[in-house]
């Protein structure tokens, strides 16, 4: 678990809804740089409080936006790894950031 990765999601990522919930679930399993998250749909869906189908849709959107990247075969037992990519700047209050 990485508190720093979770803080980066909350302070820097503009996503909302299912995408935001998935980012938090991924950050919770990532290292402090937001890297090396094993792609395990069932546990991730449970952690994000999403159905597996909603998780897949959110993951595809995040991949398309470049917020996450997939490294095939790089994980344990040849599984896939996800890496989070955080914006350089924190959200401004007008962007929906924390007050």
pLDDT digits (tens, 9 = 90+) for 22-62: 999 999 999 888 889 989 999 999 999 999 999 999 999 99
Residue 85 φ/ψ, nearest 5 degrees = -125, 110
Q: Which helix (H) or strand (E) is 92 found in, with range?
A: none
Mean per-residue pLDDT for 85-93?
80
Number of domains comprising the chain: 1
| 79 inside domain | yes
Domain with 34 in it: 3-93
Residue 28: half-sphere exposure toward Cβ, Cα within 13 Å = 12
Angstrom CA distances, 61 to 24, 53, 68, 99, stand at: 15, 13, 9, 27
Contact 47, 27 (CB under 8 A): no
| 34 inside domain | yes
Residue 86 φ/ψ, nearest 5 degrees = -90, 145
Q: Which of 70, 22, 20 is nearest to 43 (CA)?
A: 22
99 has a pLDDT exceeding 50: no
């Amino acid at each position: 678990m990485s508190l720093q990765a979770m803080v980066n999601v909350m302070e820097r990522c503009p996503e909302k809804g299912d995408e935001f919930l998935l980012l938090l679930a991924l950050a919770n399993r990532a290292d402090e740089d937001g890297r090396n998250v094993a792609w395990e749909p069932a546990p991730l869906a449970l952690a994000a409080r999403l159905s597996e189908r909603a998780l897949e849709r959110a993951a595809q959107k995040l991949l398309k936006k470049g917020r996450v990247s997939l490294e095939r075969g790089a994980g344990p037992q040849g599984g896939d790894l996800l890496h989070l990519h955080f914006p350089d700047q924190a959200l401004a209050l007008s962007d929906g950031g924390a007050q």
